[in-house]
Structure 1
Amino acid sequence: MTPFRRPAPNLSFGLALALTLAASSALAASGPPPGFVLTDNPDLAFTSPDGATKLEQYMKDSEDLFDVKWQVWARRGDQMTELKPEQGYGAGFRFTSDSQWLVRMQKTGSGEQDLFLYHFENGTFVNATKKSLSDLAWDYFHSRPDTRSMKLDYHISANLMKGTEDAYRWLGVDWPNNRYLLISLSGEMDKHPKNVAVKGLANWRCRYDLKTGKFDVPVMFAKQNAEALRWEIRR
């Protein structure tokens, strides 16, 4: 008589079930961790041009003024994804008109600001560059023969110029839509001539190509940039 044998467990089915449950649990738990509260400031709420992505900003308060934390989450339907990094202030955002690129204008201190670039991939926005967009812009600034010697000490700020949504038509250009970002750089110096109250950089402009990931300076900015390098306030 053949002895009875219990059927072997279906390991592949069990593994699939476990992964499904884990994914469901992760989705249910998506969103900011405990302690973070959604801000009710309408100026900190942003929606992509196609209406599919809504940006929500959450703050975790602290008795220590310097320990306040902010997180930004992109909501698409039931899915939420954090736009890293976590910061100490709320942020401003601009989308390109095709809703595929997103720039974060992040205050980091008094008169100081960074830029972060995100790209829409696999149903959500992810960091598009390993370094922040502002760090890449400053790297480009310091790589140029005419600007590499300038050392800035404070109020260092990278700003996204207005016009992202319509390819900067206000400047009279005819650039392709959703192709370029215009960035202006500013900062001040501690070491400067005694007869000068403040010396530094004011609104030096460059262009970032979203297709190639490279910077350049259009000829139209040559005069502005020359003046930006000579900026000073005399006593």
Structure 2
Amino acid sequence: MNAFCRPAPWLALALMVASPALAASGPPPDFVLTDDADLAFASPDKATRLEQYMKEGEDFDVKWQVWARHGGEMTELKPEQGYPAGFRFTSDSQWLVRMQKTGSGEQDLHLYRVVNGTFTNATKTSLSDLAWAYFHSRTDTRKMKLDYHISANLVKGTEEAYRGLGVKWPDNRYLVISLSGEMDKHPKNVAVKGLADWRCRYDLKTGTFDVPAMFAKANAEALRWEIRR
């Protein structure tokens, strides 16, 4: 190579800065893969496997990370949490719901979109936060203030489009979410135990919530208001 073809030192340095090495794919070395078979999940098309890794710190400080393995690539499903999680895919393997325990009797939901094996958060905030915001926006439930054991759950049936509920909804379109919680502070003339299995439906296509008429009766019972005598 002559002097006219040899790149100048400053140019070589610029190319190195402009083309940084790709970050290593996978969990940090201090996170250990759990051997609990109940914490391993696979997508319906078997192309993706979810792995949960744990790190034990001082004073019982435990951290969990979830990584999706697709071919030779791994993607972390954020956020990192203090407990392991459960997962359900839609039947087309394009949507994933994370059922994340956050404390005693409490749980959040996170929704991910899957594109070519890569997972991204499908909503700006957690799916459970969106469901609770919908609950408190309704005239029949907005006055109910829950204090503890606040939990959002994904009703079983995502893989079969909830055929078990006797519906004929389109495949891979809806998620049914159940909300529960307890109330400590309430009016003195009312003994309120809390909320139990109040259901709503989330539309994956439009990103909106509704309450189908089939849930109305059970939802009224789920409020569980008891008047003092």
Equivalent AA in structure 2 for residue 37 of structure 1: V
Secondary structure of the corresponding residue to residue 93 of structure 2 = coil
Cα displacement (A) at 1:122:
4.9
Kept in 1: contact 2:191–2:225 (CA 8 A):
no
1:136-178, CA deviations, whole angstroms, 9 ceiling, x for partnerless residues?
Answer: 0000000001111110000000000000100000111000000
- The aligned counterpart of 1:64 is 59
Residue of structure 2 in register with 1:22 after alignment: 21
SS at match of 1:190: coil
Structure 1 gap ranges (5+): none
> How far apart are the structure 1 equivalents of 2:195 and 2:17?
59
Cα deviation for residue 9 of structure 1 reads: 1.7
Q: For 2:207 and 2:145, how far apart are their aligned partners in 1?
A: 25
Contact 1:192–1:199, Cα closer than 8 Å, also in 2: no
Matched, 1:221 2:221: no
**Residues 30-84 of structure 1: per-residue CA shift (max 9 Å, x gap):** 111121000000000000001111000000012322x210000000111001000
Residue in 1 aligned with 2:7?
Answer: 9
2:114 paired with 1:120? yes
The whole-number CA distance in structure 1 between the counterparts of 2:225 and 2:39 is 32
Task: Indicate conservation of the 8 Å contact 1:187/1:201, yes or no.
Answer: yes
Query: In structure 2, what is the equivalent of residue 175 of structure 1?
Result: 169
Residue of structure 2 equivalent to 1:187: 181
1:138-217 matches, cutoff 5 A: 138-192=132-186, 199-217=193-211
The residue number in structure 1 matching 2:50 is 55
What is the aligned residue count? Answer: 225
The yes-or-no answer on 1:73 pairing with 2:73 is no
If the length of structure 2 is used for normalisation, what is the TM-score? 0.90
Does the residue aligned with 2:78 lie in a helix, a strand or coil?
coil
**Identity of matched residues, %:** 80
Structure 1 residues 231, 97: closer, same or farther in 2, change over 3 A? farther
Please report how far the alpha carbon of residue 123 of structure 1 lies from its aligned counterpart in structure 2 after TM superposition. 3.6
Q: TM-score, normalised by structure 1?
A: 0.88
Q: Specify which of 30, 33, 37 is matched with residue 38 of structure 1.
A: 33
Structure 2 alignment gaps of length 5 or more = none
Q: Is the 8 A contact 2:192 2:224 kept in 1?
A: no
**Counterparts of 1:107 and 1:44 in 2: how far apart (Å)?**
13
Matched, 1:135 2:133: no
Say if 1:115 and 1:159, in contact at 8 Å, map to a contact too.
Answer: yes
